[in-house]
Every structure is written in C-alpha cells, then in structure tokens.
Structure 1
C-alpha cells in the first residue's frame, strides 16, 4: 500500500519533514483512522491477539484526550482494480508456496527426503555452517515456513464486525466510506471535519492531506508528524 519508495525518498532527501510528536499535542482534536490498514498491521504483528492492539490504540488516544473516528472501506475506485488484481496474484503465489512447503516438510519428517524447494529455503546463510558441510537446516526451513504464513493474512467480515462491537462498547464513532477509507479520511481532513489522519499509507500525501500522523507508539503515546507544506 502507498506510493512505492516515497517514504524512503523523504527520509533520505527531506528528513526534516518527520517530527516525533507526543499525542498530547492533539488533545481535544479529531483524528481519522483507516480500520483496514491497522487491521492488516495488527494481524501481522499480533496474530490472533490483534484486537488487543485496537484496544491499546483507543486507550492511548483517549489517555491524551484525542478524539478518534474510525473509517471502514466500502470498495475501491476502478483505477485501482489493476493494483488489486496484482495483490491477489501475489497472495495466490504465496499461498501456493506455503501449501507446497508444508507438504515437503511433512514428507521430510516421514521419509527424510529433501525436495528442491526445501533445499532452497533451508540453505544455511551462516558461513561457518557451510564450511562444516551443512547443506540443509530444518530449523531454517521451518522458520521460513512460519514467516511465509504470517505474510498470508486472513481477514474476514467477522473481524470487522468484532471491531465495530468493540467501538460500540468504547463509544468510539465509526463510519463506512463511500469507497476507500483512506480517501474519506483525507477528505474529512481537507474539509476541516477532522484535524489529522493517522495512517501508515503514503497515499494520504498524494490525496493532499494537510495533517498526516504515522508510526504511533501506544506504549510511549507518541507518533510521527509528516509535514508536507
């Protein structure tokens, strides 16, 4: 997601645009948040415990009197269909790789056979191991398998329903966007209906978002203000 290499370019050429800021600087202000983006992030990091991260996010913002509003996707514009197709193809490729790797690992445990795929992903990168003649490492292959599984996120409507139930309990407002959530977040900010957008997606810069916050740290109550002006 986001504009490829934009964040890297800004950090290299314009590091001054990134300013670490305490959340208290946005006390009594409204911040719009794209639910899907943080759902992906929290599932990748926390696995089945992802809902705790949403709780921590809301608690951190409220601790600093920041008023948050969550926005849900309802679709994507036609011009992004090609991007969606590419992401689906990439996901399908990862899923096929995981299925084959799981089968090969089962075969290895049963017969000791090292398939070409296992030999490739289980090849030691440490020079000392290669010097000892170790051509295949099962722990390395299994670690690669677990890493690949984490790349394949399964997000369902039930997950989004769970966040809505959480927000209802916490009395946090949320809305469904006409199309993409990030577009609505940016539009709300440009119209002055919210004071900032909290996101990890650089697309909000392209949309002309006047106040872009990212890299929130709920343990320190800090975030990074990206100043594009």
Structure 2
C-alpha cells in the first residue's frame, strides 16, 4: 500500500511529535487505515463470520483513538474510501488474490490445531468492507463526529480538505499509514500514531526547503515529487524493472523534467519498458493531481485540482480513469454514508443480531435526490459558508433505530459489569464505552459514593429524586452513632432496597 519504500527513503525528514501539537485544530483521519489496524484483533472472527462481541473490536479501536484526539481538544474528521477507480483494478485483483490465499492457509492451520499461525494468516486475509465502515459511521453519527465518504480514494479527499482553509472545513494534518498522502500533496502527514498520541510527522514544505539533508529535494516541486513517486511504483502503475525510489529520485533530481526522464528511461531500458508505459504514467500522475473528489459546497464531484490543457480536451468517458462521473444525488448519498460506494445499493438498517449482513436496497437517481434533500444527522465536511464545518443529513422517512435493533453491538455500546450502570432511557447516544477519560470520572464518583455509604455494596443508579435524597440524609443521621444499632430491621431493609434498585 502506498509508494514502495518512500517512508524509509525520507527517514531524515521524519520528526517525532505528539498529536497535542494540533490542539484546537481539525485533523483528518484515513478511516480505513484505523479499521485495518483495529481488525487485526478480531481477524479470525471477521473472516469466519462467527458470533460474539469480539467481532466488533475494530469499532472499539477507532473510538478509543477518536476519544484520545477529543481529549486533546482536536476535532477529528474521518474520511472513508469509496469505490475503486479503473486504473487501480489490477492492484485490487492482486490484493484480493493474496487475501484469498492467506485465508486458505489460515483454514489449513486451524484444522491442524495451530491457532497462533492461523490468526497470523487471518490478519493477512481480513478485508474491510463498506458494511464495516457503515457500522462505524453509525457510532460517529450518534457522537456528532464529522465524517465524509469519498467517492473513490480517501487519500484524494484528504488532500482536498488539506488544501482548504480552516473556516471552509479544511484540516491542518492527516493521520494515516499510507505514504500516498505525500504523493497527493498533503501538507502534513502523521504516521505510526500509537494509542497515546505519539507519532512521526512529515511536513512537505520542510522537505522542499531543507538545506544540507540527504536525499535533497531542494529543486523539487509537487509535480516533480509526485512524478518521482509514480516512477518508483504505486497502486496505479508498477515501476519499470530496476527503478526503485532511490533511482527515481536520482533521475528527477538530474533532469528536473518528467518528459525528459521518460525519454531517458526509454533509451536505457528499451524492451523492459512496457509499450503503453508513457500513457499509463501520465494517467497515474493525473490521478494524484486531478482525481475526482466530493465537494460539500456544490454537493457534486469535482477535480482535486483544475484539469490541465491536455486533459480538458478529453471527453467524460476518457476521464473515467480519474474516477467515473456520478450524479449529484449519488455523490451526496455516498458522502453521507447512505449508499454503498461499491455496489451502489442503499444501507437499509443495522445488521441483525445473528450476524447476518444487512439487507441492501437498490436506489435510483430519483430516490437518491429525495434522500439528499431531507434533513438528518449525518455530519459531513462542508465548505458552503465561512465558519460552517459540517452539514447534517437525516432520512426522516425511517424510524430511529432502537437499542433492540442494535443488539448485535450490545457489548460495545453498553458498559461492562465493572462500570456504573446508567438507565438506558437516560443515555444520550449509543456508543462503545471505551473512553478512558470518561471512565476515570465515573470511577471517582463511584469511590465517593462507596465511602459515604459503606453499607451499600453495589450502586446501579446514581440518580435520585429530591424526596429520596431527604430520606437518605435522615437515615444517615440515625445510623451515624450507636443509635443505628437499635434501629429496626425494616429500616435497614428500606435503605438497602433503595440503593440496590435498578
């Protein structure tokens, strides 16, 4: 995934940081990178589609990091991948084939009784689906966390948000594990961020302005840098044999012109260079520069940067390698998380508790237009007005999901036995109870209650009416001294029953 060996090559420009550097700013998140990392802990359950709460640990993983960002006063903006673009089809086929082979190896190891080896293979076989992304989106919506589903590559959408001002919905940095973000032109990318907020950052402007560091990018601009990345090999085009990141950098540094670099390659490599490499190279370069992204202001697709003179002469069909055009209603429905970007089918409801996938319904352009104009609760990045950071969309034709319909995520959305139990009617949202900062507050409240009322062994509901509070205070006065021993058993049972009720 990403540009082969790019991060290793640029190690001199990597700076260790803590995410609190971006306090009070908006930070974009490559959501699928978090989903992939979170799926490692439940890869076997996902691949085998087994029952149980562990199957949804990837949601806990993502929510823990979101809570950590919010603890440091950072506004997270999650961006999800959409559909595949045509020039990435070969890469996707190869990845699918590898996942299939790894799953077969995992099953063989499982039959042999080697569970550890099987889990390792399942981790390589697990695939993140739009349905898994949609399940996380439901939690984001209930927590009022901004998100947008890109029409195609999330990297291109993140690069677009990076180019916007903060008051237009822009982001200051991107958290990802994909080096493609640098090729797309993101100004600041944070890699390898751990659960505590420590990570490694590359700021592209510092790379271009740095003097005395090797490899040098002093005479590079964004186009030359992206061209170097394509030469080294990317998801859209494999490299020419013998050309890696170091050789690609040397050629671009020497000639400072991509057309001239291609001519030199043609002369040096001869038959080793595919006949259509020139065309494929220019298309891959164009994807990094002009990929189609979603614009929340116009509610339609647009290009990451304006097309050049050559591409302007292309027809719409000829530009499909940048991502096929979509209608405004389709683009909005995908961005709002209402439409599967791969199958173009609508998400009907949460998966049932027996683990079966949700029923999908076909949505035509007409119905999409109706959904896109209703008010609702999907927060997405917006640049419609200064100061406006999100748009919310809700389909009021569908009833709000009840807790019973969300029972397949029971463990994730309800506290554990060790936590304070809150009346479900009082919950403000249905989210995984994995926020360590909220849990710390709850444990403090619980300790204070246990100290004040030592005879109470378990507290299940901390909410009291004014009358019941007076009753507690009167009973505390009676039980404070030796007189408490002479109190009747009925009074003791009354206060114990009061605190033990649900």
Name the TM tier (shorter chain): 0.7 to 0.9
In the alignment, what sits opposite 2:85? 77
Residue 170 of structure 1: how far off its partner (Å): 1.6
Higher-helix-fraction structure: 1
1:203 equivalent in alignment to 2:191: no
User: When the two structures are superposed, what TM-score results if normalisation uses the length of structure 1?
Assistant: 0.75
1:33 equivalent in alignment to 2:1: no
- 1:90-129 deviation digits (Å, cap 9, x = unpaired): 11221222333444x17xxxxxxxxxxxxxxxxxxxxxxx
Distance of aligned partners of 1:154 and 1:212 in 2 relative to their CA distance in 1, 3 Å threshold: closer
In the alignment, what sits opposite 2:146? 173
In the alignment, what sits opposite 2:99? 91
**What is the correspondence of 1:97-176 to structure 2 with a 5 Å cutoff?**
97-103=105-111, 105=112, 141-176=114-149
In structure 1, how many angstroms separate the alpha carbons of the residues matched to 2:160 and 2:136? 23
In the alignment, what sits opposite 2:261? none
In structure 1, how many angstroms separate the alpha carbons of the residues matched to 2:16 and 2:9? 18
In the alignment, what sits opposite 2:7? 7
In the alignment, what sits opposite 1:136? none
In structure 2, how many angstroms separate the alpha carbons of the residues matched to 1:58 and 1:146? 27
Residue 214 of structure 1: how far off its partner (Å): 1.7
Residue 154 of structure 1: how far off its partner (Å): 4.2
With CA pairs under 8 Å and 6+ residues apart, which has the higher RCO, 1 or 2? 1
Higher-strand-fraction structure: 1
In structure 2, how many angstroms separate the alpha carbons of the residues matched to 1:4 and 1:216? 20
Residue 174 of structure 1: how far off its partner (Å): 0.8
When Rg is computed on C-alpha atoms for both structures, the one with the higher figure is 2
User: When the two structures are superposed, what TM-score results if normalisation uses the length of structure 2?
Assistant: 0.36
Partner SS, residue 174 of structure 2:
strand
Residue 85 of structure 1: how far off its partner (Å): 1.0
In structure 1, how many angstroms separate the alpha carbons of the residues matched to 2:109 and 2:184? 41
Partner SS, residue 51 of structure 1:
helix
Distance of aligned partners of 1:99 and 1:24 in 2 relative to their CA distance in 1, 3 Å threshold: closer
1:227 equivalent in alignment to 2:223: no
In structure 1, how many angstroms separate the alpha carbons of the residues matched to 2:27 and 2:34? 14
In structure 2, how many angstroms separate the alpha carbons of the residues matched to 1:99 and 1:42? 21
Aligned length: 189
In structure 2, how many angstroms separate the alpha carbons of the residues matched to 1:101 and 1:53? 27
In structure 2, how many angstroms separate the alpha carbons of the residues matched to 1:45 and 1:4? 26
In structure 2, how many angstroms separate the alpha carbons of the residues matched to 1:157 and 1:80? 18
In structure 2, how many angstroms separate the alpha carbons of the residues matched to 1:162 and 1:75? 17
In structure 2, how many angstroms separate the alpha carbons of the residues matched to 1:55 and 1:41? 13
In structure 2, how many angstroms separate the alpha carbons of the residues matched to 1:76 and 1:154? 14
Residue 152 of structure 1: how far off its partner (Å): 1.6
User: Which moves more between the two structures, 200-209 or 151-160?
Assistant: 151-160
Partner SS, residue 35 of structure 2:
helix
Partner SS, residue 171 of structure 1:
coil
Partner SS, residue 60 of structure 1:
helix
Gap regions ≥5 residues in structure 2? 44-54, 208-502
In structure 2, how many angstroms separate the alpha carbons of the residues matched to 1:142 and 1:62? 37
RMSD value, Cα: 1.9
In structure 1, how many angstroms separate the alpha carbons of the residues matched to 2:93 and 2:127? 17
In the alignment, what sits opposite 1:217? 194
Partner SS, residue 3 of structure 2:
coil
